[in-house]
Amino acid sequence: MSTEAATPAETLTERVVHFVDSVIAPIAPAMARGAGPSPKDIASAAGEAGLAGILTPHELGGAGGSHQDFAYFVESVARACASSAVILDVHLSVGTEPILLFGSAEQKHRYLPALARGEMLAGFALTEAAGGSDAAALQTRAERDGNGYRLSGAKTFITSAGAADLYVVIARTGEGTGGISAFLVESAWKGVSTGAPFHKMGLHGSWTGELILDSVHVPVANRLGDEGVGFRVAMAALDSGRVGISAQAVGIAQGALDVVVSTSRLRLGRSGAVDEVTLADLEAQTVASRLLTRHAAALVDSGERVTLEASVAKLYSTDTCVAVAQHAVDMCAPESADEYHPVAIRFRDAKACQIYEGTNQIQRMVIARQLLR
């Protein structure tokens, strides 16, 4: 049995294949140059295809899919275009899932249908200059103010900053990890601003930047969960979010491997040599990454805690995608030295997977601590 196709409902699989072939693959070269459609356009196209709310139940306008469907979707998009994959992954997982898990009925009805239609794009704002790996060190403050809160602070390295309509913002309402709360902040509100997108080494089609909150009034109705549970919201979002990053990494590795295989076939046709041992290793590592990702996704679907398995999948898959992309550059040389050769693009895109949603140093710490509990 091939490991390439997971087994989501047939109609969803067909929708994903059609979306990737007709929308994502044609724009991938422009996205890699930072000249493709905006993140909002990507979300809107996914919404038209019925894929911007994969995890959202049918009654709230979503596709009612599983985390295995979600992982299949993110991998399929990343195989063609990693920039589009990170936009959609953040929208679906850390941007939308906290509302599914912690939102009130009113919040779900207010936001989930528009997110699932792709009319709204979601972002997730945890990282600050002073607190990335050490999320509990965050300094953005949420002070009580009448029937709401005033949020002030600066988030950085936020995916879709400047494009997103709604951010899940993690801010401090007190001291320690019990003094952290989560809020749903609309980009149109007074005091919300973003800087110009950063110039990254890869993922040029995905905007990444600062989110500034200057005394933003957030009604109590937009607090996500109780006051003080924000750290739990963030950690829960990251647990299943890491399954998404793992799926992205599998897609990038598979995309690089696709190019190596087609280039190697051409080379053999011209009586050239191919490093078969390395090729076999790249396939084995990519398949292993996919199975780890699928296993973690299945655990999330069964409602089990997935902290260990999500970190194992994220660590292994993202280290693999960087290694596969690097070998792909070697095996497709000298043409791969071109800045926009398909494996050069993937080599640059792969690296960020080892960094976001917890660096791989932090994943190793999480794994070791889970084992030593």
- Of the pair 80, 203, the CB lying nearest ligand FAD is at 203
9: which DSSP letter?
-
Residue 357 designated active-site: yes
- Of the pair 262, 361, the CB lying nearest ligand FAD is at 361
- Of the pair 52, 125, the CB lying nearest ligand FAD is at 125
User: For ligand FAD, which residue of 5, 201, 361, 368 counts as binding (CB under 6 A)?
Assistant: 361
Q: Which 203-222 positions form the footprint of ligand FAD (CB under 6 A)?
A: 203, 208
Cβ contact 104:112 at 8 Å: no
- Of the pair 157, 231, the CB lying nearest ligand FAD is at 157
- Of the pair 173, 206, the CB lying nearest ligand FAD is at 206
Rule CB under 6 A: say whether 306 interacts with ligand FAD.
Answer: no
Q: Which 130-149 positions form the footprint of ligand FAD (CB under 6 A)?
A: 132-133
CB atoms within 10 A of CB 57: 15
Cβ contact 156:170 at 8 Å: no
- Of the pair 103, 241, the CB lying nearest ligand FAD is at 241
Q: Which residue pairs, CB below 8 angstroms and at least 24 apart, start in 135-141?
A: 135/170, 135/231, 135/234, 136/176, 136/177, 136/180, 136/231, 138/170, 138/171, 138/172, 138/180, 139/172, 140/169, 140/170, 140/171, 140/172, 140/213, 141/171, 141/172, 141/173
Q: Rounded CA gap, 35 and 41, in Å? A: 13
For residue 362, the minimal CB distance to ligand FAD (Å) is: 6
x-or-dash pattern for ligand FAD, window 243-272, by CB under 6 A? ------------------------------
The amino acid present at 346, given as its one-letter code, is R
Rule CB under 6 A: say whether 32 interacts with ligand FAD.
Answer: no
x-or-dash pattern for ligand FAD, window 174-203, by CB under 6 A? --------------------------x--x
Q: Rounded CA gap, 171 and 231, in Å? A: 9
Rule CB under 6 A: say whether 165 interacts with ligand FAD.
Answer: no
Phi, psi for residue 223 in degrees, rounded to 5: -80, 135
Region from 66-74, 313-321, 326-334, 349-357 binding ligand FAD, contact rule CB under 6 A: 349-357
For residue 272, the minimal CB distance to ligand FAD (Å) is: 36
For residue 262, the minimal CB distance to ligand FAD (Å) is: 28
DSSP SS3 for 131: strand
Q: Which helix (H) or strand (E) holds 349?
A: helix 342-353
Rule CB under 6 A: say whether 43 interacts with ligand FAD.
Answer: no
- Of the pair 90, 233, the CB lying nearest ligand FAD is at 90
For residue 125, the minimal CB distance to ligand FAD (Å) is: 5
For residue 143, the minimal CB distance to ligand FAD (Å) is: 21
Compute how many residues bind ligand FAD; rule: CB under 6 A.
23
Cβ contact 124:159 at 8 Å: yes
Q: Per the structure block, which two tokens stand in for 2?
A: 């091939």
CB atoms within 10 A of CB 69: 23
Place of tokens 């109590």: 220
User: For ligand FAD, which residue of 177, 278, 359, 370 counts as binding (CB under 6 A)?
Assistant: 359
Burial group, residue 334, by CB count within 10 angstroms (0-12, 13-18, 19+): exposed
Rule CB under 6 A: say whether 90 interacts with ligand FAD.
Answer: yes
Q: Which 112-131 positions form the footprint of ligand FAD (CB under 6 A)?
A: 123-127
For residue 179, the minimal CB distance to ligand FAD (Å) is: 18
| Residues making up the chain, counted from first to last | 373
Phi, psi for residue 215 in degrees, rounded to 5: 50, 50
The amino acid present at 298, given as its one-letter code, is A
Cβ contact 328:346 at 8 Å: yes
What is the distance between the terminal CA atoms of the chain, rounded to a whole angstrom?
37
Q: Rounded CA gap, 366 and 108, in Å? A: 31
Active-site residue list: 357
Residues contributing to the site for ligand FAD (CB under 6 A): 90, 123-127, 132-133, 157-159, 200, 203, 208, 352, 355-359, 361-362, 365
